[in-house]
A and B are shown apart, each in its own frame.
Chain A
Amino acid sequence: MDLAYTAKQQAFRAEVRQWLATNVPAQPLQSFDTAEGFAQHRQWEAVLNEGRWGMVTWPEEFGGRGCDLIDWLIFEEEYYRVRAPLRVNQNGIFLLGPTLMEYGTAEQKARILPKMACGEEVWAQGWSEPNAGSDMAAIRARADLHGDRYVINGQKIWSTRAVWADWLFGMFRTDPDSSRHHGLTFILVPLATPGITVRPIPQLDGLPGFAEVFFDDVEVAVENRLGDEGAGWQVAMATAGFERGLMLRSPARFQETARRLVELYRANRVSADGDPGVKDAVIRAWLDAESYCLATYQTACRLGKGGKIGAESSTNKIFWSELDQSMHATAMSILGARAELLPHAPDATGVGSWLDGWLFSQSGPIYAGTNEIQRNIIAERMLGMPR
């Protein structure tokens, strides 16, 4: 055990820091759930890609730097430290990208990854259906193979980023006689294909961050199948694993929230101490955010030495999503009567982005597999409790 960064890691951090200092937009971008904000964020992805900072863990041939997970954590720390823009293509770069590298053909990788890396093609998710939420194996949307094309009919819902995205990845039932997790196939669908109707769904903040997607005889070339026909569940589990695991929610994000919470508490200490629970909640927030960072480094080092992530990755999603919710709840308590004010309200002094974060934090325990499902996974697969 050696908990010091190597000279190479320190140099990498310095390089990231310097690049971000000259390239991160001075003004925060608009929300990527608006047309204008989406375009701004797409442009930012192109800027990142030009500097080869879009996805540092990707191989160099796809625009990455072939970095290990520790470098990735360092990159994320620097990225969140300067509050660089959120990643509009996170479905692509963090979820689909790694899955493509594992299951994709050489042709698919060459065709899809470079355009994903530069933001030319932004990806949406197509997992859930109206009757397949936590029970993802209940998927009914069909893809029937006719010659060299799949014909897709059915409906997806809660498709994140689908309103302005270019592509959607998801699971479809290719064997009409199959049930549950058999007979499903992972297919990549261009959202501009005739027969697709995207109906935006406003989220808690009123913006269309996700959508319903209707498929009416949508034809998709068979080369857009990822993995074997009928193997969709295995491919999807790899994606879900990445999603829950290290890539999607790096510790830096929560450490920065904890740091800002400490600042908010210090700036409002007299009123905040009126509720004796607040100080304790701030201390706990910092402890938990630090713990999340330490545990992530430990896991990253273990993986770097050939270890594997198992069912314990389900603890990860519960830990960060509930930490995020409780940190924002504490911030709302500190802000008191100001907490409900939208940032542009005339008397909303000092509220910053806490309300936005509070709203978004409500989704954490729900998306990517509800925390109840994660608890079942932990109990059954990690602890060995009976089904």
Chain B
Amino acid sequence: MDFTFTEDQLLFQASTRDFLTGEVTPERIRAGWETPDGRDPALWQQLAELGLTGITVPEEFGGLGMSELDFVLLAQECGYVALPEPLVHTALVAVPLLRQLGGELAAEWLPRIASGEAKVVVGLEQNLLVEDAHVADLLLLQRGDAFHALAPGQFELRHNESVDPSRRLYHVDIKSGTDPYLPLDAKTGSVPLLVAAALDRGALGCAAQALGLAQRMVDMAVSYSRDRQQFGKPIGSFQAVKHLMANVAVRLEYARAPVHRAAYSVANAEAVAARAVSHAKLMACEAANLAAKNSIQVHGAMGYTWEVDLHIFMKKAWALANTWGDTAFHKARIADYIFTEGAALGAGATFSNP
């Protein structure tokens, strides 16, 4: 039993944090809102040079060959800066799906992802819309019991604006006359299994980012509470304000371990992975939503403005809570487990893995 990260994993997290907080500033994010596609090719190239786009790509395809567990701490840091680029999606959803699909498709696309040359986007029916489909060089789109591998030109997009201007969401229609159906051989596994795995990875990515988002909002609100004076003293000295932040700290403290457990479960293909992911996403997104609620309160009227950066993080947290499976979906998965006769619950059952 060892529930700690290695020195290397923690160092990688620290260096990624330094890079991201230095480069992905609120100013840069706001600048992205003004561009047509909202994406920053220079930043993507920087991420590629650090090896991050290929972090889960096997070494034989030019990546770092790391696992979901190695990446989870980095995903938290992506959340901390509200990274608009689809790095978490790439590392946790697109690359693992390509690895599962294997064959020529993987051989063609994995090296291009690692080099930063191409973006691959996965669209599941579970999600209402497909995020970042407009920058996809390859779109792996699920329709019922089939995956379609679509190149630009083979699909049409209808943009749906999100409350979070960093999120670019699209309804996708496959153009008639194209035949992009992706044949799967028996050893690849069935589409439902691939979809389930992709969904869990996407949800894990949301959970990890939610941890970072929550931490960022707490940091911003605490900092504001030190600077803002009323009644002749910093508002952070008032208990009512302190307790708003302490309440977030408590929920956040107990959301981390479930996310790390979920990453371990996914990386090791544990039988309990789906339940661990739902647990993690519910805890982390709830903590992030509480962070948003209490942080805007601490900011007072300033928090309700477009000018103050808090909303960059609030809006992303709100969006992540209901994508890659909304609260109802994940709670239903927990309920299905715990309300089943004979379920292993209670003391001693946490790490059992039937």
Instruction: Tell yes or no: A4 within 8 A of B by CB.
Output: yes
Contact assessment for B3 and A301 in the assembled complex, using a CB-CB cutoff below 8 Å? yes
Instruction: Tell yes or no: B253 within 8 A of A by CB.
Output: yes
Contact assessment for A280 and B331 in the assembled complex, using a CB-CB cutoff below 8 Å? yes
Of A52-60, A163-171, A239-247, A253-261, the segment with at least 4 beta carbons within 8 Å of chain B is A253-261
**Given the contacts A1-B264, A305-B4, A291 and B258 also touching, CB distance less than 8 Å:** yes
Q: Which residues of B have CB within 8 Å of A342?
A: none
Nearest neighbor of B341 in chain A, beta-carbon distance:
A266
Q: Which residues of A have CB within 8 Å of B2?
A: 1-3, 301
Instruction: Tell yes or no: B218 within 8 A of A by CB.
Output: yes
Instruction: Tell yes or no: B239 within 8 A of A by CB.
Output: yes
Of B19-27, B186-194, B342-350, the segment with at least 4 beta carbons within 8 Å of chain A is B342-350
- A contact face: mostly helix, strand, loop, or mixed: helix
How many interface residues does A have (CB within 8 Å)?
62
Cα–Cα, bound, A378→B264 (Å): 29
* Binary contact track A122-147/B, C-beta < 8 Å → 1, others 0: 00000000000000000000000000
Q: Which residues of A have CB within 8 Å of B257?
A: 291, 294-295, 297-298
Contact assessment for A286 and B1 in the assembled complex, using a CB-CB cutoff below 8 Å? no
How many of chain B's residues touch chain A, expressed as a range?
A: 35 or more
Q: Which residues of A have CB within 8 Å of B246?
A: 318, 374-376, 378-379, 383
Instruction: Tell yes or no: B231 within 8 A of A by CB.
Output: no
Nearest neighbor of A9 in chain B, beta-carbon distance:
B1
Contact assessment for B249 and A292 in the assembled complex, using a CB-CB cutoff below 8 Å? no
Contact assessment for A255 and B347 in the assembled complex, using a CB-CB cutoff below 8 Å? yes
Q: Which residues of B have CB within 8 Å of A80?
A: 347
Instruction: Tell yes or no: A302 within 8 A of B by CB.
Output: yes
Nearest CB of B to A132, in Å: 20
Q: Which residues of B have CB within 8 Å of A115?
A: none
Contact assessment for B1 and A70 in the assembled complex, using a CB-CB cutoff below 8 Å? yes
Contact assessment for A3 and B1 in the assembled complex, using a CB-CB cutoff below 8 Å? yes
**Given the contacts A255-B346, A298-B260, A383 and B222 also touching, CB distance less than 8 Å:** yes
Q: Which residues of B have CB within 8 Å of A259?
A: 345-347
8 A Cβ contacts from B225-248 to A: 225-226, 233-234, 236-237, 239, 241-243, 245-247
Contact assessment for A372 and B1 in the assembled complex, using a CB-CB cutoff below 8 Å? no
Nearest CB of B to A293, in Å: 5
Cα–Cα, bound, A78→B226 (Å): 47
Cα–Cα, bound, A157→B258 (Å): 40
Q: Which residues of B have CB within 8 Å of A378?
A: 245-246, 249-250
Instruction: Tell yes or no: B282 within 8 A of A by CB.
Output: yes
Cα–Cα, bound, A195→B155 (Å): 90
8 A Cβ contacts from A321-366 to B: none
Nearest CB of B to A285, in Å: 10
Cα–Cα, bound, A297→B254 (Å): 12
Cα–Cα, bound, A297→B345 (Å): 17
8 A Cβ contacts from B1-22 to A: 1-6
Nearest neighbor of A374 in chain B, beta-carbon distance:
B246
Instruction: Tell yes or no: B124 within 8 A of A by CB.
Output: no
Cα–Cα, bound, A90→B47 (Å): 53
Contact assessment for A258 and B226 in the assembled complex, using a CB-CB cutoff below 8 Å? no
Cβ-defined partner of A372 (8 Å) among B4, B236, B243, B347: B243
Cβ-defined partner of B1 (8 Å) among A6, A292, A376: A6
Having A262-B339, A290-B258, A383-B246, one finds 7 other A-B pairs with CB under 8 Å, namely: A3-B261, A295-B256, A298-B257, A312-B249, A318-B250, A319-B253, A383-B245
Closest 6 interchain pairs by CB?
Answer: A259-B346, A379-B242, A294-B257, A252-B347, A375-B246, A77-B348
17 contacts between A and B (CB under 8 A): A1-B260, A2-B2, A5-B351, A13-B348, A253-B347, A255-B345, A255-B349, A265-B339, A286-B338, A293-B350, A300-B3, A301-B1, A319-B250, A379-B245, A384-B226, A385-B241, A386-B225
B: residues with CB less than 8 A from A are: 1-6, 69, 218, 222, 225-226, 233-234, 236-237, 239, 241-243, 245-247, 249-250, 253-258, 260-261, 264, 279, 282-283, 331, 334-335, 338-339, 343, 345-351, 353
